[in-house]
Structure formats: C-alpha cells, structure tokens
C-alpha cells in the first residue's frame, strides 16, 4: 500500500486526477469506480476543470457508482445517482448512459445486486476505484463486520454513518435512508487500482487502523492491505495517528520519476 500525505486536499486532488488522466487516456474503454460524499469532491472539481480546459477527454469512460441508497427515487437530489451527476459527470463529456449504479429502486434488490455485478464484469472490471472511508472504517457501505469476500448486496447503515450523512439531509439523521445497495469488499478488491481519499481529524483513527492495524472485518478499510495496488491519499490531520509517517513521506519524496501512484 502506498501512503501519500499531502499538505491539502487540493494537492491530493491533483495527484489523483493525474492518475485518472493516465487511466482514461491509456485504455480503449476505461472504467472508473466513483464514490460520493465529501472526500472525492476535490478530485471531481479538478477533473471538471481539466475537461472544460480541453486537456482531459472522458468521453469513452464508463463509470460505476460504489453504492446507492435504498428508498430514494433515482431523481431524489440526495440519491447517489443525482449526486454524481450534479458534482461531476454532468459537467464533463461523460455520457449519462455511461454512468451506472446499483438499481436500489428495484422490487428485487438481490436481483439488482447480481445485475450490477454482471454489468461491472461485462465492462471488463473497474480500472480505478475511488474510495472514501467512514469514521467507523467502512468503505462503500460495507459497515464493520462485512465479509471481506462480500459482493454487491443490501446493507444496513450504522447509526454513526446515518449521523455523519445527516449533513446532506438538512441535519436530520432520521431522513438518511437506513439501507443501501453497495459493492461488496470482494467486488471492490477486484478493481485494478484502489485510491482512498481522506482528510480531517475525524478520519484519523479509522485511517490509522486501516493502514497499520490488523486485517479485520471489524474495520472494512483494512481490506486494502490485501490489494496489490492500493493508494491512500490523506492530509496531515487524517494521518495524525499513523506511527510510520516519516517512512511514508520519505518513500513518496524519493519516488523515481517513472513510478506513478
């Protein structure tokens, strides 16, 4: 796992946008896995700026959402489908039909989850998956105790997650849906490159446990330890409880030019 400690989220966004730029320009039909929430917003802003400036072409890119709330209509402003359109894809040349999410409005949610897995497989898998991390260590909506081999399925959100996401629902945790369809940890681990973004002191404990703690279903983000190409991009406050920051900083500073994240 590579740990990149940045001075600001903006610096992190540039590093991650560069990596995405390499993926979309090198593949014939590149695929991106997209997270919602606050953590990836800087990356989306950077990609939009590059797209508008004409320095980044995303037209051939297919996108797969990490998760979707159950119980919100697809056009609800806080559905993850609406979020990603509003914050990212609508401002680029990514076609709306090329943005896929699990169908959390389906009557048969297990069937919808299987169809989503098939769609990801059918697109050749995900080249680069963006991730955030919950303060309880979740990735996607794989809450603590999620199987490390799990696939896309229905999950119940913890009260901690619903409280954290209340900010998108006028501060009302009760308005945050109780369930979501989420890519499983096994699904996420099949992406070719995982990039986890985190900033702020509220993430420090989960970040330290994910990177330096034991591999455990109790801290789903620790599953990144299993992946051959995982990059964690964090600011100093999110890195504040890590023990080996000197080593991570020295390694990144001494990286050979040719070696990308």
Q: Which residues carry out catalysis?
A: 67, 136, 138, 143
Binding of ligand F6R by 66 (CB under 6 A): yes
Pick from 12, 42, 134, 177 the residue near ligand F6R by CB under 6 A.
134
* First-last CA distance in the chain: 10
Distance CA 6, CA 17 (A): 14
Which residue stretch of 48-56, 121-129, 135-143, 211-219 sits at the interface with ligand F6R (rule: CB under 6 A)? 135-143
Q: In what order do the strands lie in the sheet with 62-65?
A: 2-6, 230-235, 193-198, 128-131, 31-34, 62-65, 99-100
Q: How far is the CB of 30 from ligand F6R (least distance, A)?
A: 20
Pick from 50, 62, 67, 176 the residue near ligand F6R by CB under 6 A.
67
Number of residues that bind ligand F6R (CB under 6 A): 14
Between CA 165 and CA 3, with CA 243 as vertex, the angle to 5 degrees is 65
Q: Under rule CB under 6 A, which residues in 69-108 are in contact with ligand F6R?
A: none
Q: Cα 40 to the chain's mean position, in Å?
A: 7
Question: Which helix H or strand E contains 44, and what residues bound it?
Answer: helix 41-53
Residues whose CB falls within 8 Å of the CB of residue 46, separated by 6 or more in sequence, listed in order: 10, 13, 14, 16, 17
Binding of ligand F6R by 141 (CB under 6 A): yes
User: Which of 60, 154 has the CB closer to ligand F6R?
Assistant: 154
Which residue stretch of 138-146, 151-159, 169-177, 238-246 sits at the interface with ligand F6R (rule: CB under 6 A)? 138-146
Binding of ligand F6R by 132 (CB under 6 A): yes
Binding of ligand F6R by 140 (CB under 6 A): yes
Provide φ and ψ at 128, rounded to 5°.
-140, 125
Inter-residue contact 248 to 242 (CB < 8 Å): yes
Compute the residue count for the chain. 261
Q: How far is the CB of 73 from ligand F6R (least distance, A)?
A: 18
User: Which of 60, 190 has the CB closer to ligand F6R?
Assistant: 190
Q: Which residue is nearest to ligand F6R (CB)?
A: 132
Q: Under rule CB under 6 A, which residues in 21-40 are in contact with ligand F6R?
A: 35-39
Inter-residue contact 5 to 234 (CB < 8 Å): yes
Paired with 65 in beta bridges are 34
Pick from 50, 81, 100, 138 the residue near ligand F6R by CB under 6 A.
138
Binding of ligand F6R by 42 (CB under 6 A): no
Binding site for ligand F6R (CB under 6 A): 35-39, 66-67, 132-134, 138-141
């Amino acid at each position: 796992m590579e740990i990149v400690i940045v001075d600001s989220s903006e610096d992190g966004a540039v590093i991650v946008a560069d990596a995405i730029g390499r993926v979309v320009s090198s593949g014939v039909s590149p695929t991106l896995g997209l997270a919602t929430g606050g953590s990836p917003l800087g990356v989306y802003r950077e990609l939009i700026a590059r797209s508008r400036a004409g320095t980044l072409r995303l037209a051939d890119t297919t996108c797969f959402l990490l998760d979707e709330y159950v119980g919100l209509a697809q056009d609800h402003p806080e559905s993850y489908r609406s979020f990603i359109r509003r914050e990212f894809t609508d401002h680029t040349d990514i076609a709306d039909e090329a943005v896929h999410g699990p169908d959390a409005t389906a009557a048969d949610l297990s069937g919808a989850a299987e169809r989503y897995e098939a769609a990801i497989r059918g697109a050749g898998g995900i080249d680069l998956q963006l991730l955030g991390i919950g303060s309880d260590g979740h990735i996607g909506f794989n809450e603590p105790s999620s199987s490390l081999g799990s696939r896309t399925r229905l999950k119940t959100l913890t009260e901690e997650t619903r409280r954290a996401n209340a900010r998108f629902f006028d501060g009302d945790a009760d308005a945050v849906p109780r369930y979501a369809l989420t890519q499983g940890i096994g699904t996420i681990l099949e992406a070719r490159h995982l990039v986890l973004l985190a900033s702020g002191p509220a993430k420090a404990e989960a970040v330290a446990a994910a990177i330096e703690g034991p591999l455990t279903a109790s801290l789903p983000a620790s599953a990144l330890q299993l992946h051959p190409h995982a990059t964690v991009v964090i600011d100093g406050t999110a890195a504040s409880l890590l023990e080996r920051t000197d080593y991570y900083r020295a390694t990144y500073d001494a990286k050979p030019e040719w070696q990308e994240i």
